[in-house]
């Protein structure tokens, strides 16, 4: 009988210890892990660019990433992959590979938000978007 009570108390202690860490993981703040800007195709000059934002937020309900470029803000589309990433497209004046592009990205959820303002060189991307072309 004492052994059964001891096991019950031990089980309750283990479950109670696991609950705070599980709720803490859910309430962690958003993090922007990286960002890049590029265009697809082989043109020397482009008028449409894509901004990619890598975050710890998956594209589930309540998570939002917004990208602002030249005072125009777009809600980025989320992609559920091993690394959560979001993309937003913009029409621009003619830009060439390597031109600097300044933009702001905001990732937000119920736990808070993260903001970065960066200037990145424009990349000419492969069709799958995975690596820049030379």
So what's the pLDDT on residue 27?
53
Question: Does the global pTM surpass 0.95?
Answer: no
When comparing pLDDT for 77 and 13, which is higher?
77
Instruction: Give all strands of the β-sheet with 77-79 in edge-to-edge order.
Output: 77-79, 85-95, 46-55, 32-40, 123-125
> Percent of the chain having pLDDT more than 70?
74
Q: With beta carbons less than 8 A apart as the criterion, state whether 77 and 98 touch.
A: no
Q: Is a pLDDT exceeding 70 seen at residue 6?
A: no
When comparing pLDDT for 104 and 8, which is higher?
104
Token digits of residue 85: 């990433």
Furthest C-alpha separation in the chain: 80
When comparing pLDDT for 126 and 19, which is higher?
126
So what's the pLDDT on residue 3?
53
Q: Is a pLDDT exceeding 70 seen at residue 90?
A: yes
Domains of the chain, start order: 32-125 (2.60.40.2450)
When comparing pLDDT for 127 and 95, which is higher?
95
Q: Is a pLDDT exceeding 60 seen at residue 25?
A: no
So what's the pLDDT on residue 28?
83
Instruction: Give all strands of the β-sheet with 100-109 in edge-to-edge order.
Output: 72-75, 64-69, 100-109, 112-121
Q: Around Cβ 21, how many Cβ atoms within 10 Å?
A: 8
Q: Is a pLDDT exceeding 70 seen at residue 44?
A: yes
Q: With beta carbons less than 8 A apart as the criterion, state whether 57 and 39 touch.
A: no
* CA–CA distance, 102 with 122 (Å, rounded to integer): 10
Return the sign of the alpha-carbon dihedral for residues 92, 94, 95, 101: negative
């Amino acid at each position: 009988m004492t052994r059964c009570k001891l096991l019950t108390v031990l089980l309750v202690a283990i479950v109670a210890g696991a609950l705070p860490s599980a709720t803490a993981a859910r309430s962690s703040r958003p993090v922007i892990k990286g960002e890049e800007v590029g265009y697809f195709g082989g043109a020397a000059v482009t008028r449409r660019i894509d901004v990619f934002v890598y975050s710890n937020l998956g594209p589930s309900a309540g998570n939002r990433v917004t990208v602002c470029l030249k005072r125009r803000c777009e809600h980025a589309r989320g992609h559920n992959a091993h690394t959560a990433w979001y993309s937003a497209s913009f029409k621009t004046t003619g830009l060439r590979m390597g031109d600097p592009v300044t933009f702001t990205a905001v990732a937000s959820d119920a736990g808070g938000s993260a903001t970065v303002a960066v200037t990145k060189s424009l990349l000419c991307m492969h069709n799958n978007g995975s690596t820049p072309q030379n």
